[in-house]
Structure 1
Amino acid sequence: MTLEPVNLKEKLSKITDHWSPKVIGEMNDYQFKLVKIQGDFVWHEHKETDEVFFVIEGEMMIEFRDGMVSLRKGEMFVVPKGVQHKPYAERECHIMLVEPRGVVNTGEAGGELTAENDKWV
């Protein structure tokens, strides 16, 4: 066990790619991941788990088949399991994701935005 706090700003400074979540901590079977996003992501869902989006810096939208939610710095939203969604950010946005270990960022949709899992920063 390390007795040092995780500095989000310092960890985010090491992330250069968009849409490539990096793990910064674990609690039980859940991972806390930081990611920088910009532009459109892909429509996808996570059939087995909810997904938490917490905005650290910037603004983002999460589009759903029947609506949309906008998130700003300091706001969070839980996408229920099995709900199709598509995150989007006009300008670079820094977010924290909270989800079980092993969750693929694009769900079953796959594609070029699928990030390697369990990459720590």
Structure 2
Amino acid sequence: MSSHPIDLEAALAGFDAIWSPRIIARINDYDVRLARFSGEHVWHAHERTDEFFLVLDGEIDIALRENGGERVVTLPRGSVFVVPRGVFHKPSARAEAAVLLVEPAGTSSVGDSHEEVPGHVEVTTGHPAWTGGRP
């Protein structure tokens, strides 16, 4: 990880893959990831961890299955939301959005439990990001 400030716009400019998060920093045992959202992800749940979302650009929806029903939370630019551990959720974006995520290192992008993963969603624990830092 970089020992210099990270320019989020430069880090985002370093990739264009949708649903393929990039790790920009590590805090203790947690990854700080950048991702591009567009279209629908997959219904999934993280059994042992909450998932933090911060919308940097655009707008996203997070569908949630809880208490025997479904609801959708809409997050415009600048909004933060935490999906509690064990809650099935499905992020989506009508247009491309940039999102910062925080979750334990090694957490799968499709959780511990999930429905069938569509081809446009990468199953990953994140990729190193180019952060524009000095060598």
Q: TM-score, normalised by structure 2?
A: 0.84
1:66-81 correspondence runs (5 A): 66-81=70-85
Q: Which has the larger radius of gyration?
A: 2
Match of 2:49 in 1: 49
Query: How many aligned residue pairs are there?
Result: 121
Q: Distance in 2 between matches of 1:51 and 1:26?
A: 15
Find the residue that maps to 2:12 and give its secondary structure.
Answer: helix
**Are positions 1:120 and 2:128 aligned together?**
yes
Higher relative contact order (CA 8 A, sep 6+): 2
Q: Distance in 2 between matches of 1:60 and 1:118?
A: 20
Deviation at 1:57, TM superposition (A): 0.3
User: What is the root-mean-square deviation of aligned Cα atoms in Å?
Assistant: 1.4
Aligned with residue 104 of structure 1, among 93, 104, 108: 108
Structure 1 gaps of 5+ residues are none
Q: TM-score, normalised by structure 1?
A: 0.94
Amino acid in structure 1 at the alignment position of 2:88: Q
Match of 2:132 in 1: none
Match of 1:35 in 2: 35
Instruction: Spell out, residue by residue over 1:28-83, the C-alpha distance to the aligned partner (whole angstroms, 9 max, x if none).
Output: 00010000010011000000000000000000000012211100111110000000
Matched-pair contact (CA < 8 Å) for 1:104–1:114: no
Matched-pair contact (CA < 8 Å) for 1:21–1:115: no
Runs of 4+ in 1 over 6 A off after TM superposition: none
- Structure 2 vs 1, CA of residues 42 and 76 (structure 1 numbering), >3 Å: closer, same or farther? same
